[in-house]
Amino acid sequence: MTHQAPAMGCCGPVATDAPIAVTINPEARVNVARSGAPVGTLTTGEWHTIPVTVVNDGFVTGPLVVEAEPVPGLELDAAANELTGEHRQDAAFRVRLDEPTMVDVTLTFRALGALGGLANHSTVNLLLSSMR
């Protein structure tokens, strides 16, 4: 049985196993929320994939970009995920912590597609911890 944790998006909860849910509304505004799904403890020095569920009510195409302000000891590998226009798709980004620590990172999600610069951004905080 899989864990279907609801995350609040623009138009209601999103059932997902991913710790982050992004909803793009019909006006191409991006909303992001933490679900109840855990990220878990990361292993120091190893890359870890953080899954993201995207519900695209605007059927927007183009890149979905994840950005973060620099956090000492945290590396973010966030190559743009390509939005296909499908109503629901999976995306992801990777993180690595250089030493055993706990960090709070603010992530910004941006989508630019068919409606170009009309797309807004949204942010979410993610608490990450690592151990040896």
Count of Cβ atoms closer than 10 Å to residue 55 Cβ: 23
pLDDT digits (tens, 9 = 90+) for 55-109: 999 999 999 999 998 999 999 998 889 999 999 999 999 999 999 999 999 999 9
Going by the DSSP 8-state scheme, the letter that residue 59 receives in this structure is -
CA-based nearest residue to 89, from 68, 115, 61: 61
Domains of the chain: 5-131 (2.60.40.10)
Q: Could you give the CA distance from residue 132 to residue 98 in angstroms, rounded to a whole number? A: 10
Q: What is the pTM of this model?
A: 0.82
Tokens 């927007």 sit on residue: 60
Q: Which residues are CB-neighbours of 40 under 8 A, at least 6 positions away?
A: none
Q: What is the reported pLDDT for 132?
A: 80
Q: Could you give the CA distance from residue 3 to residue 18 in angstroms, rounded to a whole number? A: 9
